[in-house]
Amino acid sequence: MSIVAIATQGAELQHPSLLATSTSGTIPDAFSGISNDIKQAGYGFAAGARMAEAMRGLGSMAERERFVSSWDDLGLDRFMADGGRYRRRRFAAFEMSANTVARKPHQPHYQSRDYNPLNGDIERWFEPVLDENADHPFLRTVFNVCRWAFTSAAPVADAGWPWHAEMHQFRIEAMTEVVGHPTPEGMHRDGVDWVCVMLIKRENVQSGTTEIFDDSSESVNRFTLTEPLDTVFLNDTRVRHGVTPISRLAPEREGYRDVLVLTFRRNDE
């Protein structure tokens, strides 16, 4: 079933997987339906179990745990205008062509206040993604999936290579008496063309509901990424997105939400 077919105004959705029940070693077969949903609804969703099956079929799951463990080594985000100390992250920039992905020299992350009214209009220098993670086969396959999904969802003449791509490793922590804000800027666009959000891990937290607002249909879809590798592919020019605050389930244990975010924009000029 397509996401479009079950979209409802303001409802909490339990999404079916958009991936084929069986996968081969090709991205189009493994991710059948994703590009059509991005075209029709402005976003596509891939459930974690099906995502894992697809990535396994593409030969990219063998060392995933090493990649996942790197979220335990993120630096504190010291650029939070709300004074929060609940977000940890690393950052890297890449150039993506039709066939390759090459890391760029480390650089600041910048967003206009038009897109980020909380932390925009400043250069934010975050700790860099470690080389072994920037070159990890799991990540490189996710890049390849995004390239295929997003170019398939756009007019062929609109590719505009090369693309500027950014990788964000986020950990949002829920403190004992303080909630964590995955998107403290609220419902927003990132100011790019395409966005991929993959859940890496949730530990002892509740809420963290993803909300997607489609300007075309004026509809809101809500669902919660709960399983590792639950993934959302977004057309950032069409939809806005946000995530509700998280809090601890068991107050005595640490709680956090880890995500990988990849963003893409045409022509870094």
The CATH number of domain 3-75+86-266, selected from 3.40.50.720, 3.40.50.300, 3.30.70.260, 2.60.120.620: 2.60.120.620
- For the cut 80, the answer to whether the pLDDT of residue 103 exceeds it is yes
Query: Contact 126/91 with Cβ under 8 angstroms?
Result: yes
pLDDT in tens, 21-54: 445 579 999 999 999 999 999 999 999 999 999 9
Cα dihedral sign for 168, 174, 180, 182?
positive
Angle between helices 34-41 and 137-153 (to 10 degrees): 50
- For the cut 50, the answer to whether the pLDDT of residue 4 exceeds it is no
The secondary structure element, H or E, covering residue 39 is helix 34-41
Query: Contact 166/216 with Cβ under 8 angstroms?
Result: no
Distances (CA, A) of 241 to 19, 27, 142, 161: 22, 26, 21, 26
Query: Contact 98/61 with Cβ under 8 angstroms?
Result: no
Query: Where along the chain do its domains lie?
Result: 3-75+86-266
Question: What's the full length of the chain, in residues?
Answer: 269
Count of Cβ atoms closer than 10 Å to residue 9 Cβ:
9
The secondary structure element, H or E, covering residue 168 is strand 163-174
Distance, in Å, from the CA atom of 37 to the CA atom of 54, rounded to the nearest integer, reads 17
What local confidence, expressed as pLDDT, does residue 10 receive? Answer: 40
Strand partners, 196: 233, 262
Q: Which amino acid is at 178?
A: V
Count of Cβ atoms closer than 10 Å to residue 237 Cβ:
14
Its pTM stands at 0.89
What local confidence, expressed as pLDDT, does residue 3 receive? Answer: 32
Strand partners, 165: 94, 264
Q: How much is the average pLDDT of 61-76? A: 95
pLDDT in tens, 193-240: 999 999 999 999 999 999 999 988 888 999 999 999 999 999 999 999
